[in-house]
Amino acid sequence: MRILLDAGFTEREAAGVSRLLAAHVLSSVEEHTAVRPADDTAPDAAPPFHDEHLAGHEHLRRVAPYYAGLGGDDIFELGIEVILDGLAHRHLPRS
C-alpha cells in the first residue's frame, strides 16, 4: 500500500489497485493450476478457431493465429504490463 499511497493514489484507489492486482494474480494461478480431464486442452492451450467460426469476423480472423503462441506466462506478464501502464497513465500531470 505504501508505494501506491506514496505515488499519490488516494486510499480508495490504493485499496482498489491492491484488489485488482490480487485478482489478476489469483486468476492467473487458478487458470494455471486448474485440473482438467485428460482429453481437455492444457491450461495454456489456445481456443480452437475453425474457419466457420472466423467467417464474418475479420478482426478475430486476424488475431486468431497468435492465440496459440500465447501461454499463461505471456498472458500474466501482459496483464501486469497493462495494469502498470494504466496506473502510470492515470497519474500523469493533467493540464
Average pLDDT over the chain, rounded to whole?
Answer: 83
CA 89 to chain CA centroid, Å, is: 18
Expressed as residue numbers, the domain containing 32 is 2-90
Judged against a pLDDT cut of 70, whether residue 94 lies above it is answered with no
As a whole number, mean pLDDT of residues 18-30 equals: 91
As a whole number, mean pLDDT of residues 24-32 equals: 86
pLDDT attached to residue 11: 96
Residues 57, 3: Cα–Cα separation, whole Å: 43
Q: How many domains does the chain have?
A: 1
Residues 33, 37: Cα–Cα separation, whole Å: 13
As a whole number, mean pLDDT of residues 36-57 equals: 70
Q: How distant, in Å, are the alpha carbons of 8, 75, 84, 88 from that of 93?
A: 11, 30, 16, 10
47-86 residue pLDDT tens: 677 778 788 888 988 988 888 788 889 999 999 999 999 9
Residues 58, 82: Cα–Cα separation, whole Å: 25
* 95 located within any domain: no
